[in-house]
Amino acid sequence: MKMKLGALVLVGMTTLGTCAFSQAKLEAFPVGTTTMVFTVTTEDLSAPQTLELQVVVHPNSTYTVRMRAEATGTGDQLSGFGFLFGAAGLAYGGGEDVSLSALQVLVDQRSRLQEGDEYLLPGGGTFTDVALVDIAGVRCVEGSYVDPKNRDTRMTVAFGISKPVYTVPRVRVERLRGGTWQTVFLMELVAYTFVGP
């Protein structure tokens, strides 16, 4: 088991304040239209929700970003429906806030992450079980994180490395209940398309 800290943490600490939740800068997208479709499931909703993010890069170096969300549920289930992407996390109106602030240090360094390694994070947590996975045709590096201040919650997060993705291709939040990890929130990329000019 290797622990990598050095340059990864130093670079991450300097970018933490400026790095947004989006894991790819708009400049990384090619001219044309990239569409990313995610499904979102929570323990409180009876049907998965759909989130579509579209990045249009115009030839004059301007951008259009579109977001479309669709959900089916009862009035109570949908009363807070919506998504907010913030500086270091995702606030989901269905009641789950996903904080990625401890993992922001890894976003810019994701192409350096090695399968099988573990990474020490600011605050004492570690990014473990690192593996290469394919999600909707996007090569990703995925691992798990347990906040040392909240050991009953585990997050598994995948960072896209082969194609630009506006947000992380997969984030799963699990809670330890009765000795078993149970998924309470899952947002996963299910389709990725690009149409050139």
Q: Is residue 132 part of a domain?
A: yes
pLDDT digits (tens, 9 = 90+) for 157-185: 999 999 999 889 999 999 999 999 999 98
139-145: which pairs have CB atoms within 8 A and are 24 or more residues apart? 139/163, 140/169, 140/170, 141/110, 141/113, 141/115, 142/170, 143/113, 143/119, 145/102, 145/103, 145/121
Q: Is residue 11 part of a domain?
A: yes
Q: Is residue 149 part of a domain?
A: yes
- pLDDT-above-90 percentage for the chain: 45
Q: Is residue 98 part of a domain?
A: yes
Q: Is residue 195 part of a domain?
A: no
State the total domains in the chain: 1
Contacts of 166 (CB under 8 A, 6+ apart): 22, 23, 24, 36, 53, 55, 65
What pLDDT band is residue 74 in, cutting at 50, 70 and 90?
confident
What residue numbers bound the domain in which 104 lies?
A: 3-190
